[in-house]
Amino acid sequence: MTLPTRVTLCEVGTRDGFQIEPEFIATDDKVAVVDLLADAGVPRIEVTSFVSPKAIPQLRDAAEVMARIRRRKGTRYAALVPNDKGASNAVAAGVDVIHTVLSASESHNLANVNMTVAESLAKMRGVMEIAARAGVPVQTGIATSFGCPFEGDVPLARLEWVVRELVDMGARAVGLADTTGMANPRQVTRTLEHLMPRFPGIEWTLHTHDTRAMAIPNILAALELGVTNIDASIGGLGGCPYAPGASGNVCSEDLVHCLHAMGVETGIALDRLIATARRVEQIIGRALPGQIIKAGTSDRRYPVPDGVAARLPRSA
């Protein structure tokens, strides 16, 4: 495999993960998790979303969370926004980056944000203008890039059109999201081989959900083509309330363990990341879907069973 020497991980659990939890997570706990992630060396964190509390009540404390986190040098703090009002609130809160999202498919975009794709693109222009005036960079995410739970396959031409619209309005960072875990590595390769030559200079990010246990294989396919920015969620939290059957994002500590085992650097302390996942388990009150938190890292060793040690050949 031809892999990059380093990958930049963006942690999205405190937004994508926390937003669908049924019980409100205390602001103190949200702040604590963000600080623990930064202390572990996570370089990018999507902290929260500046969205209507009626739409996402779990994130109604977005401004307070942003105000109370400790800003670690070397970590970039972002927030997701749906429109120009959210962008203005995010700028006022001092975010380092604004994240936006729209869907490649019409039906999912209507279900997710109650707008057509064309209407979302119009909103994006307002977000871009506010961000440009404030000097804040924008990363635009495209949900259902690899398939829609309502429409099925999303044609490459359709996805290319959405990317073109975003790039033409000034986007320089684009995230492709496998919102419901429908992608496979060959499809990821085909999609990136189609888009990357057509949009040189774009910083690409892959956002995966592990709905069908394909997230890490899909990420490896993207890495082989030179994508070095990956979204992940602590403990594998997450899911989309408007995507039937969707489960959590790729698990941050599982992905970091995989990358480190293959010699790919992340700058993240895996032991601290695992400890953070355990803290999140305590906060939400249930076991997380990640595997490393259960099995331990691959260098973990166990005592030799009774009766076996005496039969082992003696070393020369």
| DSSP count for the chain of H helices, then E strands | 11, 8
- Residue 240 — pLDDT band, cuts 50, 70, 90? low
pLDDT of residue 310: 84
C-alpha span between 224 and 41 (Å, rounded): 24
Q: Would you please indicate which residues are annotated as catalytic (active-site) residues?
A: 240
Q: What is the mean pLDDT of residues 275-293?
A: 95
pTM of the model: 0.95
CA 22 vs CA 32, 58, 220: distances in Å: 19, 8, 33
pLDDT of residue 244: 62
Token pair of 45, please? 């964190």
User: Residue 75 — φ and ψ, nearest 5°?
Assistant: -110, 135
Q: pLDDT tens digit string along 42-56?
A: 999 999 999 999 999
pLDDT over threshold 80, residue 243: no
Which has the higher per-residue pLDDT, 282 or 243? 282
Tell me the CATH class for 8-311.
Answer: alpha beta
DSSP-assigned beta bridge partners for residue 77: 45
pLDDT over threshold 70, residue 212: yes
User: Residue 208 — φ and ψ, nearest 5°?
Assistant: -120, 150
Q: pLDDT tens digit string along 82-113?
A: 999 999 999 999 999 999 999 999 999 999 88
Nearest Cα neighbor of 139 from 179, 96, 107, 184 is: 96
